[in-house]
Structure 1
Amino acid sequence: MKKIHLGLIIFISLLLVGSICYGGLTLYANQKTIPKNVMLSGWNIGGKPAAEVLHELDERLSAMESLQVQFHGEQMNGEAELLSLKEAGVEYEADDFRDALSKLMEGDLWERAEYRYKFNKQWSIYTGHDLDILKKRFHSEWEKERFGEAVNAVRSITDDIVRYSPEKTAFRIDWAVLSDQFSAAIPGDFSPLQADPPKPIVLELPLTKRLPDVTVKSLQAEGIERKIIEFSTYLGASGPGRVHNVTAAAQAVDGMILKPGDEFNYAEVVEKAQQEYGFEEAPVIVSGKLVPGIGGGICQVSSTLYNAVLLTGLEVTERRNHSLPVNYLPLGQDATFAEGYINFRFRNNTGKHLLIRSEVQEKTLTLKFFGTFPKDTEYSLESKTVESIPPPMKYVRDASLSAGTHRIIQEGKTGYVVETYRVKRENGKIIDQERISRDIYRGQSTIIGMNPSNGELPNSQDLPNTPIVEDGISIP
């Protein structure tokens, strides 16, 4: 009997101990509080009710996102931008901690108790930073308003003096640097909330200087230093149509800049002048005669340019003289143009940029070149008539005359063969002389009216018929 009683006592004792242990385990596993000595980013939450901690966590994370960040900079004229961290693209989360708390309530009794026993003592909040949100806030128009816009330097010429208006620089945000600085400045724990009120985060916007495409330095490097040549021709008794055409071509040339090695193409100038200003009726040259046409006079611009080119020592790549002498330049020093047949071209071989200025004032056409040119060097032109060409005779029938008689209807003009030389001087001393052209001017035929007694006209020796339009673009 005694053994039975002892066994029963032991059994009841074990049952009681098991019940106490199970009850204790149940109480331990089913606690609604955070395990003791747990810290969340500097916040002591050990032993606090989990539901209360989660509610306060939401408030704290929201308070962190509401922290102010002040962006300032030297170029902002003391006007700082104040944003909340959320407005600047920052978000806080504590998902790992939330997941850990949820596991305290999951699984069987033993799993919950074991997880609570092994629960980490240190937890952290985490930040997310979307730089695109900040970029949308500090967008390009905002940058222009705060930091201005880059303005190109400008070259101007007044009284033949080259002057420069300096460029204006602007500033723009260096986003790569700002991203690193901002990431480092974002608080990683709740310590800023200990101050009342919390102090703003202060950041200086990192800026980069934005230069314009054109600066005084880049303009000066082009080498347009001074006026190197000026040449003028007179329009004389030119009618309104011819004055308009010369002015239109001059305007199309004005302001043109040739880079080193660039070739000037007068055909392109004529096309531009026609498109932008149009041409009017004025005499043109066809088959050695002046006849009404459109664009008459445009070769005065190419001829004036030709002289400026020669006096600057530039390389002429295409040029031909007029078929008739012109009254505004010596023989051998003109350059004609016939669309599709004859062009005037030259190359900028100065090694620097060349600026052309052109204008018509008081019936005077003036061409100026601005660039780089040795001050001790000058060129001059010498043209010599090496041969005179008698005007040919052209006979036409004139029934109004008596049989066997004749009369001169039009006096012919003598033609010429002309050679032109360019002389180069340095410090007044001739160092080179070259023949640059040998030109033929055919003159004009003498037209003789006849009523031959035998019915036959003498053989004519008229100029060859070349029906191209010189010094203009078309005939009606």
Structure 2
Amino acid sequence: MKKNKHYILILAVIALFYLTSCNNKGMQGNLKIKEENIKTKIDSSQPKGKITNTKVDTPKKSGTVNKLPWANDEEFKRLQKENGTTVLLAAYCTVLKDPLPGEEYNVHLAASSLAGMVVSPGEVFSQNNGIGPYVESKGYQKGPTYIGSKVSTTEGGGVCKVASTLYNVSILSDLEIVERHNHSMPVPYVPYGQDATVAYGAKDFKFKNNTEHPILIWAKGVGNRLYIGFYGKEEPPKVEWNHKTLESFKAPTEYIKNPELKEGEEKIIIEGMDGAIVESWLTIKNLDGTTKTKKLGTSSYRAMPHVVEVNK
């Protein structure tokens, strides 16, 4: 019984981080959950993407990609031809680190809902309107959620990974960002300043198609990777991210007593992440050779504590 309570406490701490981040309104994140200490089961019924094309990019950390898992998908090719969207504007792969139960499933489900959406010239795309609400009736599973000062579970946990990936693809496609909220704490799957979070009815991610042609969105979840790509008719300018850390806050350490450890023994459960205030801007190199800078503002993050088991 004591062991079960201890295990639940650790999961609650992990859930607190993930969903404070995902449901609230950089540096590459390095939060790590020690796999040998925390073992979680992913529902075996979750949709599992599969790469059959060995030429697909499979990065170890999140970043831009060019070789995508839907290249031979017949529906994708049909919609490309139908909309004249044969030029890859940008594509991004987000690598989920140690996804909690339900998260990977929900990311795959959201990706399948996104694939095939077309955004007309001048139209504003909204993630919440496009694939929300993130509820059981739409197939989403429950995941841990931070509500007020308590850890609970709600449907759709994990869709913030979709928002972050959409944000990166939108930026790299030189599209207008209409609404974006950073997480309250840093996340381990994209650099500081490059994340976005959503909460249905409260926070959304939106971009505007400020081009003269339709944009085809395609997405696919493959294991712990989420791929999203935008397609149009004309090659966009080259866009580069820039970040500057204005202030940083060291991650504190929180201790959990575990009487099953040896006297004086310590075991790291979560490697936390420093908080920061990060300024972000873009360097945009146009096709005619001219260059311009676009300011995006600042993102503020509280520190994510290290969590250590002790017996002393």
TM bucket (normalised to shorter chain) is 0.5 to 0.7
Alpha-carbon separation, structure 2, partners of 1:288 and 1:250: 31
Deviation at 1:306? 0.3
Q: Contact (CA 8 Å) 2:135, 2:155: kept in 1 or not?
A: no
Contact 1:258-1:264 at 8 Å conserved across structures:
yes
Greater RCO (Cα-Cα under 8 Å, separation 6 or more): 2
Deviations along 1:250-306, whole A, 9 cap, x unmatched? 122111101111111111134265366422232335569976443211110011000
Is the Cα contact below 8 Å between 1:248 and 1:277 reproduced in 2? no
| 2:247 equivalent in structure 1 | 387
User: Aligned partners of 1:411 and 1:258: how far apart in 2?
Assistant: 40
The 1:289/1:250 distance shift into structure 2, 3 A limit, reads farther
Structural mapping, 1:453-464, within 5 Å: none
The structure 2 residue matched to 1:315, chosen from 148, 151, 176, is: 176
In the other structure, the counterpart of 1:367 is: 228
Matching of residue 232 in structure 1 with residue 93 in structure 2: yes
Name the SS for the 1:244 alignment partner: helix
Match runs of 1:375-414 below 5 Å: 377-390=237-250, 414=274
Contact in 1 for aligned 2:164/2:196 (Cα 8 Å): yes
SS in 2 for 1:334: coil
Structure 2 residue aligned with 1:245, among 106, 109, 121? 106
Instruction: Trace 1:333-372 onto structure 2 (pairs within 5 A).
Output: 333-372=194-233
Distance apart, 1:374 and its partner CA: 2.7
* Identity rate, percent: 31
Instruction: Give the secondary-structure state (helix, strand or coil) at the position aligned to 2:163.
Output: helix
Matches within 5 A, 1:322-333: 322-333=183-194
Deviations 1:79-123, CA, capped at 9 Å, x for gaps: xxxxxxxxxxxxxxxxxxxxxxxxxxxxxxxxxxxxxxxxxxxxx
Query: Which amino acid in 2 is paired with 1:320?
Result: H
| In structure 1, C-alpha distance between the alignment counterparts of 2:231 and 2:217, rounded to whole Å | 6
Following superposition, the deviation at residue 391 of structure 1 comes to 5.7
Asked if the contact 2:142/2:155 (under 8 Å) is kept, the reply is yes
Q: Is residue 2:258 matched to residue 1:416?
A: no
The residue aligned with 2:300 is: 440
Match of 1:295 in 2: 156
Between the aligned partners of 2:84 and 2:148, the Cα distance in structure 1 is: 44
2:129 is aligned to 268
CA radius of gyration, larger in: 1
Structure (1 or 2) with the greater helix fraction: 1
Call closer, same or farther: CA 1:430–1:419 in 2, change over 3 Å: farther
SS at match of 1:246: helix
CA RMSD, Structure 1 to Structure 2 (Å): 3.8
The one-character-per-residue Cα deviations of 1:159-178 (angstroms, maximum 9, x if unpaired) are 4897559xxxxxxxxxxxxx
Alignment of 1:51-66 (within 5 A): none
Q: Is the 8 A contact 2:165 2:228 kept in 1?
A: yes
Q: C-alpha distance in 1, partners of 2:217/2:146? A: 27
Partners of 1:160 and 1:379 in 2: CA distance? 28
Residue 369 of structure 1, CA deviation: 0.7
Code of the residue aligned with 1:322 in structure 2: it is H
Counterpart pick for 1:255 among 96, 116, 128: 116
1:34-78 deviation line (CA, Å, top 9, x unaligned): xxxxxxxxxxxxxxxxxxxxxxxxxxxxxxxxxxxxxxxxxxxxx
Show CA shifts across 1:370-417 (max 9, x none): 112336x211112221111356899xxx9xxxxxxxxxxx99753210
SS at match of 1:303: helix
1:160·1:226 contact (CA, 8 Å) conserved in 2? no
- Classify 1:427/1:260 alpha carbon distance in 2 versus 1 (closer, same or farther; 3 Å): closer
TM superposition shift of 1:243: 0.9
The aligned amino acid for 2:300 is I
Alpha-carbon distance in 2 for matches of 1:310, 1:423: 11
Question: SS in structure 2 opposite 1:300?
Answer: helix
Q: Is the 8 A contact 2:114 2:131 kept in 1?
A: no
CA distance in 2, matches of 1:327, 1:292: 21
Q: Distance in 2 between matches of 1:373 and 1:228?
A: 8
Sort the Cα spacing of 1:446 and 1:327 in 2 relative to 1 into closer, same or farther, 3 A.
closer
Distance 1:273 1:359 in 2: 17
Distance 1:228 1:253 in 2: 16
SS of 2:246 mapped into structure 1:
strand
Structure 1 unaligned spans of 5+: 1-156, 166-215, 399-409, 448-476
Question: In structure 1, how many angstroms separate the alpha carbons of the residues matched to 2:276 and 2:118?
Answer: 36
Q: What letter is aligned with 1:265?
A: S
